Amino acid sequence: MKEIKDFESFYDTNLNTALSNLKLQSSEATGWKIAGLLFLMFAIMCFLLSQILAAILLLIFTLISIYKFRKKKKLFIRNFKETTLREIIKYLEPELIYKPNEYISPVDYEKSSLYRRIYDYYEGSDLISGNYSDIKFYCSGLETGYDKSPGGNTITTIFNGLFFAIPLKIYLPGVIYIWPKGEEQLTTNFLDDYYKLFPLPEVYSINLNDTTFESIFSVYSTYSSDTSSFIDQELKKCLINLKEQTGKEIRFSIMRGICYLSITINKEFLKPFLSNTDNIEIVKEYYFRVQLILNVIDQLNFKRFT
């Protein structure tokens, strides 16, 4: 295979044809959206003019347009992920597995105790897994929320962003939790059901004698000696850098031999939009979003513990 040395060459060689087809699908979806709005506008006018039969007919056309729009949009998103995103991932790391419609298991989410609020809503997409830099990992977009209304119509977001699960190659007894300062997921008393998603072992606040790190994060663990040896200067620097680079909330834990990491994004990280599909700068943004996932694995550098 011919070597690709920069993003522009990669774009021209691998994506141009696929994006041309996607642009046509995007235009079709947008066309049905505009048609639906026009039919609705004329239907309202007919109702105001007491042209009831015409208004009902236009409303039927509106519903058909909405159906067609949603169908075309769903097809566009599926094809964008299967062509463009899959090609980007393959280029950056050929051995990775990409499953657009799958996501991190609720079992891992609950075990991590990064978010211990009981949830009513759990959805995700874009599972990426495999070995990168000799580290096995799983990562996907994830969104969880709880319903705070009696009728079940209002979902309040708990987490929306990237969620990582990374099995470790070393044995680490006990658990470690690193929560944002002021966001400790501790149950205050036995009547408190706010943070009871997963049973939490008896943990202790850990003092790492690092004022910069501890001004951002709170560390809790079952074993203080193991914690201080694992949370070394490199890991602390990595978590601080991730927060500074992304400008987002970072959470980290180790439970039963698996490291968990969450980065709050507040949007579907790899979800495509209908407009400007052939704009190289927009496609480049998705390229760097995938690269961010790989950069997280690089920065954690768990190879040093093997």
Residues 189-198 have pLDDT tens digits of 555 556 667 7
| Rg of the chain taking only CA atoms, in angstroms | 24
Q: Starting at the edge strand that comes first in sequence, how are the strands of the sheet with 176-180 ordered?
A: 97-99, 121-132, 135-147, 155-167, 258-264, 250-255, 176-180, 217-221, 204-205
Residue 108, φ and ψ in degrees, nearest 5:
-65, -40
Distance CA 46, CA 139 (A): 51
* DSSP-assigned beta bridge partners for residue 143: 123, 160
End-to-end CA, the chain = 33
Q: Taking a C-beta distance cutoff of 8 angstroms, is the pair 114, 262 a contact?
A: yes
Residue 180 above 80 pLDDT?
yes
| Run of H or E including 165 | strand 155-167
Number of other CB atoms surrounding residue 26 within 10 Å: 23
Residue 5 above 50 pLDDT?
no
The residue behind tokens 């809790």 is: 220
> What is residue 81's DSSP assignment?
I
Which runs of consecutive H residues, i.e. helices, occur in 204-279? Answer: 211-214, 224-230, 233-246
User: Helices 52-80 & 16-48, crossing angle to 10 degrees?
Assistant: 160
Residue 163 above 60 pLDDT?
yes
Q: Exposed, middle or buried by CB within 10 Å (0-12, 13-18, 19+), for 101?
A: exposed
What's the pLDDT at 188? Answer: 64
pLDDT per residue over 74-91, tens digit each?
888 888 888 888 988 998
Per-domain residue ranges of the chain: 7-92, 98-271
CA dihedral for 177, 293, 243, 187, sign (positive or negative): negative
Q: Which of 119, 120, 165, 158 is nearest to 140 (CA)?
A: 165
pLDDT above 90 covers a percentage of the chain that reads 40
What's the pLDDT at 225? Answer: 66
Q: Taking a C-beta distance cutoff of 8 angstroms, is the pair 125, 268 a contact?
A: yes
CA dihedral for 224, 225, 228, 231, sign (positive or negative): negative
pLDDT per residue over 181-214, tens digit each?
988 888 765 555 566 677 788 888 888 888 999 9
> What is residue 195's DSSP assignment?
B
Q: Is 82 left (phi over 0), alpha (psi -120 to 50) or beta?
A: alpha
| Model confidence band, residue 4 (pLDDT cutoffs 50, 70, 90) | very low
